[in-house]
């Protein structure tokens, strides 16, 4: 009696396991649970058993029937869920593009600047953003009384340690460790105590340039700046130098590029001057050479600064420096 029950159960399981499709479930139901199925016909054979075994067998069959009906319902549920999933999975749909990051516009411009100077024979140097007073001011011939040293302009960590206010300290670091000829640029972040507005940010980015050798002149400086302007903004860009003052260069100048938007005719961007201010430059001051251990009688050199943010703003026609540091993906995705 029990062997019949077990046989039906294991046969049901064997066949159920082999089923791969919803439509194959119905034959399973017919074979086991149908009106002429294995369970029904077993019920019919109860009369063949001795009287005292009939109730027990009937009970066992009933329980098996419930058990298999339950399992059958579960199978239906399983297969329906699978079908549903298959219907949702449309293999003809185009795939989802993975979201990939990109280079920040300032990095793109910094890379471009580096490429240009590398092709002109410059090495790329690096220096710390947390500097000593010596490298940021003292060695650059910036006297104790200079306004840049004021707490109002510089972010100090201690009396002697500060966040560098320009990339010029890298000049000193490189001259201390390397004998001339030196021909280097040093891109990096700098810090100043400024209240943020469209053209000021408490941190921004500069590229320092330094060339030291025997017989270097101001004409070499002009040539390099001109070559850079042409490669960065095109052959028709003009460069002009205006006399200026920096403690670490003598003579000193500020240099401008003709406005790339109006070609020098005058527009809103260049405030009708036709020129865009870029940064400062000049011949290395003898005191700077002395502080860095280079003989000013033998060597001369020039140095220049360059604002990466400023150049990026010109290149992409951006009128607010703060947008670089907000990390708004709608802005960043455009590059
Ligand atoms: N360090 C100067 C500044 O931050 C720029 C500069 C660099 C000027 C090199 C002259 C020579 O404004």
Cβ atoms < 10 Å from Cβ of 171: 28
Mean pLDDT of the chain: 93
Question: Which is more confidently placed, 304 or 45?
Answer: 304
**In the chain, what are the domain boundaries?**
2-88, 105-332
Query: Quick one: pLDDT at residue 53?
Result: 85
Query: Quick one: pLDDT at residue 1?
Result: 63
Which run of H or E residues covers position 124? Answer: strand 123-124
- Centre of ligand 1 to C-alpha 261, Å, is 25
Please tell me the class of the 105-332 domain: alpha beta
Determine the average pLDDT of the residues in 261-281: 92
66-112 pLDDT, tens digit each: 998 999 999 999 888 888 888 888 888 888 888 888 899 999 999 99
- Euclidean distance between CA atoms 150 and 153, whole angstroms: 6
Q: Which residues line ligand 1 (CB under 6 A)?
A: 166, 168, 246, 249, 279-282, 303-305
Query: Quick one: pLDDT at residue 84?
Result: 84
Query: Quick one: pLDDT at residue 156?
Result: 94
Both structure tokens of 76: 């239906």
2-44 pLDDT, tens digit each: 788 899 999 999 998 988 888 888 999 999 999 998 888 888 8
Residue 22, judged by CB atoms within 10 A of its CB (0-12, 13-18, 19+), counts as middle
Sheet containing 239-246: which strands, arranged edge to edge? 123-124, 182-191, 203-213, 300-304, 275-284, 249-258, 239-246
- Euclidean distance between CA atoms 311 and 200, whole angstroms: 14
Pocket test for ligand 1, best of 204, 280, 281, 302 (most atoms within 8 A of CB): 280
Closest Cα to atom 10 of ligand 1: 281
Pocket test for ligand 1, best of 245, 246, 247 (most atoms within 8 A of CB): 246
- Euclidean distance between CA atoms 161 and 241, whole angstroms: 34
Nearest alpha carbon to residue 179 among 207, 214, 217: 214
pLDDT above 90 covers a percentage of the chain that reads 67
190-241 pLDDT, tens digit each: 999 989 999 899 999 999 999 999 999 999 999 999 999 999 999 999 999 9
Looking from the CA of residue 252, the nearest atom of ligand 1 is 10
Looking from the CA of residue 168, the nearest atom of ligand 1 is 1
Pocket test for ligand 1, best of 147, 166, 256, 282 (most atoms within 8 A of CB): 166
Backbone angles phi, psi at 206, to 5 degrees: -125, 160
- Euclidean distance between CA atoms 276 and 279, whole angstroms: 10
Residue 146 has pLDDT above 80, yes or no: yes
Which run of H or E residues covers position 231? Answer: helix 218-233
Determine the average pLDDT of the residues in 150-175: 93
Query: Quick one: pLDDT at residue 280?
Result: 97
Query: Quick one: pLDDT at residue 44?
Result: 85
Cβ atoms < 10 Å from Cβ of 117: 23
Ranges 128-142, 214-228, 257-271, 278-292: which has the least confidence: 257-271
- Centre of ligand 1 to C-alpha 206, Å, is 9
Over the Cα atoms of the chain, what is R_g? 41
């Amino acid at each position: 009696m029990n062997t019949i029950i077990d046989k039906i159960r294991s046969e049901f399981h064997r066949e159920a396991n082999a089923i791969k499709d919803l439509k194959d479930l119905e034959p399973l139901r017919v074979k086991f649970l149908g009106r002429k199925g294995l369970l029904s016909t077993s019920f019919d054979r109860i009369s063949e058993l001795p009287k005292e075994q009939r109730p027990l067998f009937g009970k066992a069959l009933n329980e098996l029937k419930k058990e298999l009906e339950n399992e059958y319902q579960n199978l239906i549920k399983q297969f329906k869920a699978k079908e549903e999933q298959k219907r949702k999975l449309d293999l003809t749909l185009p795939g989802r593009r993975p979201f990939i990051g990109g280079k920040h516009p300032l990095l793109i411009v910094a890379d471009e600047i580096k490429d240009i100077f590398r092709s002109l024979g410059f090495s790329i140097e690096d220096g710390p953003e947390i500097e000593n007073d010596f490298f940021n001011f003292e060695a650059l011939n910036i006297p104790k009384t200079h306004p840049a040293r004021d707490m109002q302009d510089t972010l100090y960590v201690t009396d002697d340690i500060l966040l560098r206010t320009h990339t010029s300290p890298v000049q000193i670091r490189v001259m201390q460790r390397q004998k001339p000829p030196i021909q280097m640029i040093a891109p990096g972040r700098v810090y100043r105590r400024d209240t943020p507005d469209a053209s000021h940010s408490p941190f921004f980015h500069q590229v320092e340039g330094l060339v030291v050798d025997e017989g270097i002149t101001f004409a070499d400086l002009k040539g390099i700046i001109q070559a850079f302007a042409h490669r960065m903004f095109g052959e028709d860009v003009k460069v002009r130098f205006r006399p200026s003052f920096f403690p670490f260069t003598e003579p000193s100048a500020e240099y401008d590029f003709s406005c790339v938007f109006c070609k020098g005719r005058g527009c809103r961007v260049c405030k009708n001057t036709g020129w865009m201010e870029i940064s400062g430059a000049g011949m290395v001051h003898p005191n700077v050479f002395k502080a860095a251990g280079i003989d000013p009688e033998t060597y001369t050199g020039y140095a220049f600064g360059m604002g990466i943010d400023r150049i990026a703003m010109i290149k992409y026609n951006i009128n607010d420096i703060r947008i670089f540091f907000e990390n708004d993906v709608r802005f960043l995705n455009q590059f």
